[in-house]
Homo-oligomer: A and B are copies of this chain.
Amino acid sequence: MEKSSTDEAMKVGRWMEEGGFARLLGIEVVAARPGWCQVEMAVTDNHLNSVHITHGGATFALADFAFGLASNARGETAVGLTTTMSYPAASKRGDRLVAEAFEETRSKQTGNYRVEVRRQSDSVLVGLFSGTVFIRGDAVSQWME
């Protein structure tokens, strides 16, 4: 991986971090390369459901953000088409969640990504996500002004 593409990927990450929903949830980009990234989120009262564990929607949002970053980090705009998620375990207030996104396949017009969300303290898998993107012809950079 050459340095320039990593820089470009992180630039996309910083820009995505500034979205209103990412800020509301406190999503932070740790590292990004084309086709891969790691992002984190601290679980607070704001992320819980009525039984005081992390809402599935909050875990999903972190995974979906990682999916978006990994798939757009090559600089071509990729649009999410379908996503699937399962929840092997729970997390709670005080946990820090780490999502890592991997590119499984990528052709000219579509791509598949996998995201694993784990509790940082014990590495237990709390979310398993997979997503498919449609790759449009336009550059991500044109949206970044």
- Seen from chain A, the residues whose Cβ lies within 8 Å of a Cβ on chain B are 15-16, 18-25, 44-51, 54-58, 60-62, 64-65, 68, 80-89, 104-105, 107, 109-110, 112, 125, 128, 130, 132, 134, 143-144
Contacts and interface: CB of A to CB of B under 8 A. Distances in A.
Instruction: Select the residue from A22, A48, A57 with max chain B CB neighbours within 10 A.
Output: A57
Chain A interface helix/strand/loop/mixed: mixed
A109 B134 CA distance: 9
A16 B83 contact: no
A33 B49 CA distance: 20
9 contacts: A21-B48, A21-B54, A22-B50, A24-B24, A55-B64, A56-B80, A56-B83, A109-B134, A134-B134
Contact of A107 (B55, B68, B88): B88
B130 A130 contact: yes
Nearest to A17: B50
Contacts of A105: 86, 88-89, 125, 128
B46 A22 contact: no
A104 to B, nearest CB: 6
